[in-house]
Amino acid sequence: MQQPTCIPKGLEALIFSIYFSAVGSLSEDECWETFGSPKSDLTDTYKFATEQALARAKFLETDELIVLQAFVIFLMSLRNHCSIRLMWSLTALAVRLAQNAGIHRDGSHFNLSPFTVEMRRRLWWSICVLDSRACEDSGHDATLPHSGADTLIPLNINDSDMTVQMKESPQPRVGLTEMSFSIVRFEATSLFRRLQYNPTRCLGHNNEEQDLAEKMKQISETQTRLQNLYLKHCDLSDPFLWYIYTIAQIVFTKMQLVAHHPSLRRAGYTELPKETQEYLFTSSIMILEYWLALNTEKKTQKWRWLCETYIQWYALAFLLSALCVRPESEEVERAWNAVDATLQLGLKLSNIAQKTTGINPSGVSDIDEFFCDAYKPLHRLIKKARAARSRTSPPKENAAQPPQAEITNMAPQDGPGTAIGGVEGNSLMMENFSDASLLHGFGSSGYSVPQEIPDLYYPWIYNFEFPGEGYNTSSGSIN
């Protein structure tokens, strides 16, 4: 701060990327209170400054790790402020820069210091997350190669376990650390890549039933391992741990849709076994409801920036396909509530929608392609599903009313180890604590986020404390 002209160009780029990310994580009110400026002005200012700092650091030519770190941190926040097409292109650029720097190879091959090895792993897998998400958003194949990269998942440690001077790698910790959330995301990204890549199909040998069974086995094994290593240690009364746990439930439920996706593309929803149809239909609803909860819960608002643009395309596409053929029922109405709320909130959070004159509050599914490029692939499917709905049920007179805060017990009773179930099979418990202003006007029957035990809610929702450490769900008593 005292000698800004003496800052190394790489460090300058890193600092400005952190400034840009910090501003992006703040609400509009926090920006006014802290900086006395609207968030849009601050975002534009620090975005431009970061771009200039990266250019000065010659990020397209240098092999400096710190410059690539700056670029990746910049991209993590930029996805909330740019189009999917631009994000896809810039992420591909990050992949190429990482390969040029050699961080797709594990640092242990090159006699590097343990600190450098660990930082390379964190950086590479952060790029993998960006590439995986850009792949899902754009509908293209991943930029990352399926062979040639062998960088290991980072260690489950705290930052205090590392020093620049250390000679040996620290031992990974048991339970939750400062890296656990990132590791869960990295593991999920690795699984997503494996599910998408089928070497037997590439060679012309494809047994679809066997392929699906193998994918479901991979999902189950990965989920069980992460459950035992990290997720079972989550105290869901802590907002951030609830945030981690909810994202994990979304990810592993979505993976089952990813595994079934080739069958859906080939034969369609109606050709799936009845049991599979029902399970995936309920799972898709839960995915959207959990995503809505992540983006409306006030206690976790400070981390909302990370996932607010992570639209659940697989769940949306599956539900819309199902809604084209399913008869009217309470479950179908619940699905439409989740779909409409997701589309409206997704548009509201998108940068393009924020710069338009507004969003149609009465018919979110009547989406105009002008609003957001991300929804173009769904446009025809949305129209088809809405046409099917209009044939089976008359429009509701109060369709534009704000959501009701009534409590409904919608969580299916899953057995232990299922994707929707939580620790020892218990679903997440939530109630009417969402930020309703974000969901204004999407439907008449309201949006109710998942909950399981109607008479018990977590203390951070209502700002009181339980006089003990846990709750015995079998006896209804507090331990």
DSSP string, 249-315: HHHHHHHHHHHHHHHHHHH-GGGS-HHHHHHHHHHHHHHHHHHHHHTTBGGGGGGGGGTTT---HHH
Does 352 map to a domain? yes
Residue 314 placed within a domain: yes
Does any domain span residue 457? no
Query: Does residue 126 lie in a domain region?
Result: no
Give residue 398's identity as a one-letter amino acid code. N
Is 281 within the bounds of a domain? yes
- What is the structure's pLDDT at 276? 87
- Please count the structural domains in the chain: 1
Of 104, 128, 247, which is closest to residue 196 (Cα–Cα)? Answer: 128
C-alpha distances in Å from residue 374, one per residue of 187, 190, 301, 442 = 26, 24, 23, 19
Domain membership flag for residue 313: yes
Placement of tokens 């590392």 in the chain: 162
Is residue 317 in some structural domain? yes
How far is 77 from 85, CA to CA, in rounded Å? 15
Residue 122 belongs to a domain? no
Neighbours of 455 (CB within 10 A): 5
Domain of residue 283 covers 267-358+373-390
* Blockwise average pLDDT, block size 10, the chain, 479 residues: 85 96 92 94 96 96 94 94 86 93 92 95 96 84 76 95 94 93 94 76 62 90 92 92 93 90 74 86 93 89 86 89 89 92 75 42 40 62 86 55 30 30 33 44 39 31 31 35
Q: With contact defined as beta carbons under 8 Å apart, do 311 and 378 qualify? A: no
What are the backbone dihedrals phi and psi of residue 268, each rounded to the nearest 5 degrees, phi first?
Answer: 90, 170
The predicted pLDDT at position 422 comes to 30
Cβ atoms of 50 and 13 closer than 8 Å: yes
